[in-house]
């Protein structure tokens, strides 16, 4: 399912206009992204938790040549499903 399908399903389920639902979904995604960029944890009760993990610098390999290359420190977003979501999947 992509973002457009999520918007369509939420609009159908709530009876709200698709444009308003799209604005709300976009605002939520921006808010989550901004919080993560500040290093905050975003908890959505009954759904899960978004957080940021810092990956340390390390030496990698160029897959084409096998040459060793330095890879700098990077940050990545993580999602951990909450118990209600896990239960719904099993």
Within 1-90, residue ranges assigned H as helices are: 3-14, 18-37, 83-89
In this structure, the answer to whether residues 45 and 73 fall within a common structural domain is yes
In this structure, the answer to whether residues 24 and 59 fall within a common structural domain is no
pTM of the model: 0.80
List pLDDT tens digits, range 20-55.
999 999 999 999 999 999 999 999 999 999 999 999
In this structure, the answer to whether residues 34 and 46 fall within a common structural domain is no
In this structure, the answer to whether residues 36 and 55 fall within a common structural domain is no
Section 64-68 average pLDDT: 94
- Alpha-carbon span 45 to 41, nearest angstrom: 12
Q: Which domain holds residue 52?
A: 41-90
Q: How far is CA 85 from the centre of its chain?
A: 15
The pLDDT score that the predictor gives to residue 87 is: 95
The whole-chain average pLDDT of the chain stands at 96
∠ Cα 26 3 38 (to 5°): 45
The pLDDT score that the predictor gives to residue 65 is: 94
In this structure, the answer to whether residues 68 and 86 fall within a common structural domain is yes
End-to-end CA distance of the chain: 19
Section 86-90 average pLDDT: 93
């Amino acid at each position: 399912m992509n973002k457009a399908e999520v918007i369509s399903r939420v609009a159908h389920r709530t009876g709200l206009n698709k444009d308003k639902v799209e604005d709300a979904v976009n605002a939520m995604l921006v808010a989550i992204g901004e919080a993560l960029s500040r290093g905050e944890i975003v908890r959505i009760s009954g759904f899960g938790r978004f957080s940021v993990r810092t990956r340390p610098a390390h030496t990698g390999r160029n897959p084409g040549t096998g040459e060793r290359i330095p890879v700098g420190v990077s940050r990545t977003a993580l999602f951990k499903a909450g118990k209600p979501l896990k239960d719904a999947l099993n």
